Structure 1
Amino acid sequence: MNDTKKILIIEDHKDMLRILTRNLQDNQFEVLGAENAETGIQMLAEFNPDLILMDLMLPGMSGLEAIAIIKEKISDQHHIPIIIITAKGESDDIVLGLNTGADDYIVKPFNFDELIARVKTALRLKALNEKLFEQTAQLEQANRQIYDLNQSLVEKNRELRRNVFNLHTIFEISIELNSILEIDRLVNSTLLTMVGQFSCKNAMFIYNHDMDHSHLRVKNSKGFNEEEVQNLAFEKEDPLFKYILRHPYPLDISVLKARVNGSNAIDIFENLDVQIISPLILQSKVQGLIVLGPRVRTQAYQRQEIENISILTNIVTISMQNATLYQQVEQLSYTDGMTDLHNFRYFKLRLKEEVGRHKRTNTGLSLLILDVDNFKNYNDTMGHPAGDKVLKKLGAILTASVRENDIVARYGGEEFAVILPAIEHEGAGILAERIREKIETTPFDNENVQPLGKITVSIGAASLPVDANNTKDLIRFADNALYEAKRSGRNKVHIFNKKTLKMQ
């Protein structure tokens, strides 16, 4: 019997198609390629692939349209995993692709070892899915036979159904959890699932996605006294976590109490009337715990339920990892690589949001645009690496000078922008002058080469609703004010007014 897995590649770039084909064939896969979605869909029935690798950006029919058509053509039982290929920064396309029905994604440029690993993982999940369908069908057939043979076995049949926990339900839960890419929403959905499936009085999610942190903390809880649990912190060096690494499955608190000595965490859980602790383990480290209280009914957790808790915990572990990676990728797409400030793309997004918030709440909004005076002179004299150091230092000064909810962004080149929610003309002017003075008095390397003998900035400011009533005008008026600050001698702050507009 031939066990070679078949992969259909839909990729319009011939070089990429050829490279993908060669690498997959080198890993013992049978490969067929198509250069557009229409051809790929026509190949489905004849080639009957085990997995589809598809670029989202295709000529003619888009990758998203192709995914929708493919999902209509195949049943859940004969699920074909789809891995989408997308370019770095296209996080919206990734979300659309996953929501349309794709199973996974990989971002260009990618490591081929990672691609092969993702392909193999998707094929393993496909095999598990097929096995689940097969087992479910077998169970349903067995249940019908039992009912026909002897009516007295009906109660036993019901017990069997309860113990199996309905494999189809687990599969549906896994799809739902894996589709959530926001960590807070994923945690909340996990707790609601646990409470609903196991009828427990309360549940708690303990996690810390900062891998180097020394503590795990409560991220969310259901049914516990919030004031009692929200500030709980558990040292990763606690004996409980060392024991869990050797026994990585759901454990009863009474068992842990008897087997683990000197654990402060176990004492805390016992005082909270916790009954089950199920660990999230990743890269041989305990990254979190799903903690369940006693059942609403007096009946204890059954063995099959403990196994189901373990299965769901493993699913949640993978989902948390995916959500964390997604947020990291999203953060990178909104970050300026040199200064670590927000980039222009994020600035435009947030300014639009803040203008909308102002229109709803009428709380005011100001915008500062800063430009480094004579920066070209410094760059030409000292070189670009020295200029980059100046921009990084300016970014740090700006971040330290504003409130936590203010938005500092690199506007472009040597320009920066600061969005100031709930601040109007007067407050914007005071802050801008404070920033200008701070930069003027901060020493920079070789600043004596500048015409003013130091690194300085010019700042323009405009506000809602005094100056403008929309995003476009707010940016334009702040830019006009910046021009006035530079025209009047540099190293100045200029607040926009109607006279400024008439002079432009």
Structure 2
Amino acid sequence: MKKNLLIVDDDFDTRFILKKVLENEGYGVSLAQNEIETFEALAQTPINLILLDLKLGSTSGFEICKKIKNNINFSGIPIVSITVSQLEEDMIKAIEYGFVDLIGKPFNNKILTTKIASIIRFKEEEEQLRKSRKELIRLNRYTSIQKDLLSQEAEFSRDLNQFLDAESKKEFIRERFPGFLGARLFTIFSIDENKREFKLFISNHEELPHNLVVPVDSESIMYEVLRSKKYLFLQDFNETRYKKNRREKYLTDYVCCVPLISGHRTIGVLNVNDPDSSDIDRFDFEGRIIRTAGHLAVSLHNTILYEKVRDLSMRDSMTGLFNFRHFLDALRHEMERAQQNEEHLSCIMLDIDNFKAVNDNYGHQAGDLVLKELARSVSISVRSSDIPARYGGDEFVIVLPKTDKSLALRLAQRLMRLFSGKSIRIPDGNKSIKVTLSVGIAEFPGDTGDMDELMKMADEALYRAKSTGKNKIVDYSQD
């Protein structure tokens, strides 16, 4: 690249000779003979070196040098003095004012051009060294930041994996995720491939229901990520082809959608919206999301497996309802909560009438079908907050939190209508049989404040129902 020099001298012959010599060496040359022309030339052309005479008529070259050095735009340009003066005090003063060298008049062309080339080369090397030092400082700072980020990610992953159960993990993610990622909003969906739907696992969108289910839509961004198993980072979501279900809650159009892949299986999708800062380093931000999605996928997969195993351990293998051990734990927990919050809680016990006769007359396979049909009817009748369980044999129990006796009675009546007298097809000769239920109800705190007493009272009410004709509902406190 051509280097540009500025010659500042009020002598025409000197300017002419210097210009010719330096242009022959391949330099671009600008000329000035006073302070005004000097700064005009500096403003017009990038200058690599200035040759400045110390005597410019009424103007001192020292003063021009001082003004150049005080100007932030030109202070880095090396200045060489050209002068006839051989006075020691002028030489010292030139050094003090910032001249990098002094060349006496008349000058030797070879010495002049060699010095100029050397000074420019030294300046370039100095500038390159300065840039390298600045880049090294930047890289050191960047490396330190990346080290801190990776340390934070390792800490987040370690803390995340402390929790196996879904509820504890959700609470941890809800509390730590936004600040950790550096974004305002996020959602994590699991995928049910059999039902072709996304189920909300956790989100900090206040308006989203916790049980939100989103059908797999071929026009949605989540479907595209699920299909391709590749992440998408969109700077302007509203300009894309994906189906728009966005509301005014978003502050930006920036969207991150990342598949959660554990092994070879896609188990869900992570969505991130509204980075904390518009000037955020996208490379770092998106890299963190991708790495975090990897940690999340493995952790959530472990939670899914844990929940499946735990659910199996809490379930009765035949009916799919909760087993007796889980029922006792759940009843104890709900009783404590009801006592603390001064709430009602009801307990329903039910038993299939003449179940022994079903087994004796039609076989145990038919009896199993009847038990499964009752379990299905119970599952249909109860609410999501209720706890239905197989108590043992043909006896079942339901805990109804926040439920007084009148509401428990209505639920029991609904179950009776659904099951009692229903024709159940059995494998023996394509026959159908009809069975009925007996039901007993007890309530906390109306009947008792003790858990064991509550179960005994519900069982006693059930016994009275069976001993007084069966196929009926008996409230413990009724005469």
1:263 is aligned to 242
From 138, 152, 155, the equivalent of 1:172 is: 155
In structure 1, distance between residues paired with 2:405 and 2:203: 43
After TM superposition, list the pairs within 5 Å mapping 1:350-499 onto structure 2: 350-429=330-409, 431-433=411-413, 435-436=415-416, 438-445=418-425, 454-497=434-477
2:146 is aligned to 163
In structure 1, distance between residues paired with 2:180 and 2:426: 66
- Structure with bigger strand share is 2
Shift of 1:422: 3.6
1:211 is aligned to 193
Contact 1:347 / 1:409 at 8 angstroms: preserved in 2? yes
| Cα distance change on mapping 1:349 and 1:187 into 2, 3 Å | closer
In structure 2, distance between residues paired with 1:420 and 1:245: 39
| Cα distance change on mapping 1:161 and 1:255 into 2, 3 Å | farther
Q: Look up the SS of the partner of 1:158 in the other structure.
A: helix
Contact 2:237 / 2:255 at 8 angstroms: preserved in 1? no
In structure 2, distance between residues paired with 1:423 and 1:444: 31
After TM superposition, list the pairs within 5 Å mapping 1:126-137 onto structure 2: none
Summarize deviations over 1:457-496 as a string: whole Å, max 9, x none: 2222222223221110011122222222222333333322
1:392 maps to a residue whose letter is: K
Contact 1:206 / 1:216 at 8 angstroms: preserved in 2? no
Report the aligned-residue RMSD. Answer: 3.9
2:298 is aligned to 318
Q: Look up the SS of the partner of 2:424 in the other structure.
A: coil
Contact 1:367 / 1:462 at 8 angstroms: preserved in 2? yes
In structure 1, distance between residues paired with 2:336 and 2:238: 54
| Cα distance change on mapping 1:459 and 1:275 into 2, 3 Å | closer
| Cα distance change on mapping 1:154 and 1:226 into 2, 3 Å | same
After TM superposition, list the pairs within 5 Å mapping 1:2-401 onto structure 2: 154=137, 156-183=139-166, 185-187=168-170, 189-190=172-173, 193-200=176-183, 202-216=184-198, 219-222=201-204, 226=207, 233=214, 235=216, 237-238=218-219, 240=221, 244=225, 250-254=231-235, 262-264=241-243, 273-282=253-262, 286-401=266-381
1:340 maps to a residue whose letter is: G
Structure 1 window deviating more from structure 2 (274-283 vs 231-240): it is 231-240
Count of aligned residue pairs for this structure pair = 342
In structure 1, distance between residues paired with 2:293 and 2:370: 48
Shift of 1:315: 0.7
Shift of 1:338: 0.9
In structure 1, distance between residues paired with 2:223 and 2:402: 49
**Percent sequence identity over matched residues?**
28
Whichever of the two has the greater Rg, that structure is: 2
Shift of 1:438: 4.5
| Cα distance change on mapping 1:240 and 1:169 into 2, 3 Å | same
Runs (5+) with no aligned partner, structure 2:
1-132, 428-432
In structure 1, distance between residues paired with 2:274 and 2:418: 58
2:95 is aligned to none
Contact 1:208 / 1:288 at 8 angstroms: preserved in 2? yes
Structure 1 length-normalised TM? 0.58
Q: Look up the SS of the partner of 2:317 in the other structure.
A: coil
1:174 maps to a residue whose letter is: S
- Structure with bigger helix share is 1
1:379 maps to a residue whose letter is: N
1:484 maps to a residue whose letter is: R
Structure 2 length-normalised TM? 0.61
1:89 is aligned to none
| Cα distance change on mapping 1:320 and 1:475 into 2, 3 Å | same
Structure 1 window deviating more from structure 2 (232-241 vs 315-324): it is 232-241
Shift of 1:340: 1.3
In structure 2, distance between residues paired with 1:479 and 1:178: 43
Shift of 1:153: 5.2
1:205 maps to a residue whose letter is: T
